[in-house]
């Protein structure tokens, strides 16, 4: 690997320190306040890793690049700070793609650095070359390829600015290895140059007043709160607004925790596996106020039937989301927190919705989530309830994707924000374990419980190594039904029980697997065993894995079948 000792011509007049691009990168990351880097080295980033060797920023060596980026997502979710990832060119970069797409759909701030082959050979199919810029263009908020070392400080500053302002999202910076080797003058005062990027943060006051007028006129209002409220750290404003306007509140999957689950105005999660009361409110409302959600199809069901009688007000910082899926009567572009402040300043007044609130309250009482319990078999719902009881509802809960994810959303009511880490939009299996690692690193003071399915766990289970290596006290609870549970459920309900490749044969002994990574492992096969080992595991000071064998054929109910409206839920009652 050659090192170009000639400083960049564009920077020769500067009086700033002379250093190579890799050292610039480290200094720029320190300038941005980066606390931890998730990464995996390789040929195109060796100079960068040499700079990291004594660069002063902790680096977490995951066992696969997918582990790096999901860990960065978990860190970003609980801290609100950008997760930083470094990987090499070619396969290192492409192994990040799933996580980048996941962060894009769930609006998580990431800054991802990839190595690239030298500029002179880009496009020649050089060893470990992949066009990561072309590959990630549709799944990043923005991406850069650095062609001159003098541009590096400015680009890094812009990458962090874009990732964390407006609607958060992933930004990728691709650095050819001759650029990371090249010498240049480090400009630590580099400024953001993005005249075309001006997110609208403050909403238009006239539109805010239209929302309040609609509330006063409504008889059946509902407030839908999504992850945008959490990104804006606006949960207290949301609660005050709902209470003053007397609005029933529904959360999206990613918005859970933005409103206290025990609050009398809370109806639960809406959507495919949401509560009856929440979906009834979304279906029958005459006013739907959406704050910080994007009307995902898993929330709306068949759009033909969604909120058909409602005036729709949509508050979102991303104007592209407004009217994209659901026609909007009152569009409000702006930050959720700023919008809620303005709504409160204007003096929200409740409409005549007392009868509606009583009706929804009765629906909530009459038709809660249900399951048939057993003393012989461990029902997954009861397992989640046990975890909630033992942790007193105070854990940061991280899930993978599938049935266990929905049961955790249903049976672990959240009273506080930023305690729910899951993959919503992309539905990424393999997300859970590394995301829990990132969450624990971001919140070392918190109890982090990873609720995982046996299928998703096996996609990234090699990251168990990090729990021991960094002594992270994550409690890994496997909801083990020896199947790809949600796939099996759909095959049972919609494919005549033809279980094509959804039952997992030859499942490894997960307790022995944990022990192979020097982590204590426990197993439970019935409720009494589960209660005992969960209490023991949660009392352990370090990482623990608990393999819980639950009823294999259990399904998640209620459910809105694919293609149906929210009013066509099945399994609402036993």
Kindly list the catalytic residues: 65, 127-128, 177, 486
Q: How many residues does the chain have?
A: 574
Q: Distance of alpha carbon 478 from its chain centroid, rounded?
A: 20
Give the Cα separation of 112 and 436 in Å (integer): 19
Give the Cα separation of 246 and 225 in Å (integer): 15
Segment (H or E) for 84: strand 83-87
Q: Extract the tokens encoding 242.
A: 């709902």
How crowded is residue 58: how many other Cβ atoms within 10 Å of its Cβ? 13
Give the Cα separation of 393 and 443 in Å (integer): 16
Give the Cα separation of 555 and 70 in Å (integer): 27
Match 């529904």 to its residue by tokens.
250
| Torsion angles phi and psi, residue 302, rounded to 5 | -65, 120
Q: Extract the tokens encoding 189.
A: 């005062």
Give the Cα separation of 510 and 359 in Å (integer): 47
Q: Extract the tokens encoding 91.
A: 């396969």
Please, what is the angle between helix 21-31 and helix 152-164, to 10°? 40
Are 349 and 215 in contact, with CB atoms under 8 Å apart?
Answer: yes
How crowded is residue 376: how many other Cβ atoms within 10 Å of its Cβ? 8
Q: ∠ CA(498), CA(432), CA(517), 5° rounding?
A: 105
């Amino acid at each position: 690997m050659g090192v170009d000792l000639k400083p960049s011509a564009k920077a020769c007049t500067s009086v700033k320190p002379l250093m190579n691009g890799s050292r610039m990168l480290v200094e720029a990351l320190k300038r941005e306040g980066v606390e931890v880097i998730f990464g995996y080295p390789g040929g195109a980033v060796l100079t960068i890793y040499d700079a990291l060797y004594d660069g002063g920023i902790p680096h977490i060596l995951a066992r696969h690049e997918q582990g790096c980026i999901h860990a960065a997502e978990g860190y970003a979710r609980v801290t609100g700070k950008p997760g930083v990832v470094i990987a090499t060119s070619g396969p290192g970069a492409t192994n990040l793609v799933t996580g980048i797409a996941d962060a894009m759909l769930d609006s998580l701030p990431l800054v991802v650095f990839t190595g690239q082959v030298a500029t002179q050979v880009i496009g020649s199919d050089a060893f470990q070359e992949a066009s990561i810029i072309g590959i990630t263009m549709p799944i990043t908020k923005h991406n850069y390829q650095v062609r001159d070392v003098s541009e590096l400080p400015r680009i890094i500053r812009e990458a962090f600015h874009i990732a964390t302002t407006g609607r958060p999202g992933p930004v990728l910076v691709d650095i050819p290895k001759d650029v990371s080797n090249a010498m240049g003058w480090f400009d630590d005062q580099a400024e953001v140059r993005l005249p075309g990027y001006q997110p609208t943060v403050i909403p238009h006051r006239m539109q805010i007043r239209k929302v309040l007028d609609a509330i006063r006129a409504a008889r059946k209002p509902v407030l839908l709160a999504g992850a945008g409220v959490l990104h804006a750290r606006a949960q207290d404003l949301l609660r005050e607004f709902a209470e003053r306007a007397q609005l029933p509140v529904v959360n999206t999957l990613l918005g859970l925790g933005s409103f206290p689950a025990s609050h009398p105005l809370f109806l639960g999660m809406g959507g495919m596996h949401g509560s009856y009361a929440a979906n009834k409110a979304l279906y029958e409302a005459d006013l739907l106020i959406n704050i910080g959600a994007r009307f995902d199809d898993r929330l709306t069901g068949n759009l033909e039937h969604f909120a058909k009688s409602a005036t729709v007000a949509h508050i979102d910082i991303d104007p592209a989301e407004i009217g994209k899926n659901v026609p909007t009567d009152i569009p409000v572009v702006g930050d959720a927190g700023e919008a809620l402040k303005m709504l409160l300043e204007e003096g929200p007044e409740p409409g005549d919705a007392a009868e509606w609130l009583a009706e929804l309250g009765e629906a909530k009482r009459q038709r809660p989530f249900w399951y048939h319990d057993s003393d012989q078999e461990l029902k997954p719902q009861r397992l989640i309830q046990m975890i909630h009881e033992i942790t007193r509802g105070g854990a940061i809960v991280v899930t993978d994707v599938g049935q266990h994810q929905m049961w955790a959303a249903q049976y672990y009511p959240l009273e506080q924000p930023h305690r729910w880490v899951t993959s919503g939009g992309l539905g990424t299996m393999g997300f859970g374990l590394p995301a829990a690692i990132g969450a624990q690193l971001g919140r070392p003071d918190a109890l982090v419980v990873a609720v995982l399915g046996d299928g998703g766990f096996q996609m990234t289970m090699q990251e168990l190594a990090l729990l021991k290596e960094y002594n992270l006290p994550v409690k890994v609870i496997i909801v083990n039904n020896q199947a790809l549970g949600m796939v099996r459920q759909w095959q049972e309900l919609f494919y005549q029980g033809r279980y094509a490749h959804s039952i997992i044969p030859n499942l490894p002994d997960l307790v022995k697997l944990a022990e192979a990574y020097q982590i204590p492992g426990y197993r439970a096969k019935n409720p009494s065993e589960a209660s005992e080992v969960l209490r023991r595991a949660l009392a352990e000071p370090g990482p623990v894995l608990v393999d819980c064998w639950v009823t294999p054929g259990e399904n998640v109910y209620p459910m809105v079948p694919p293609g149906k409206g929210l009013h066509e839920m099945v399994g609402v009652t036993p």
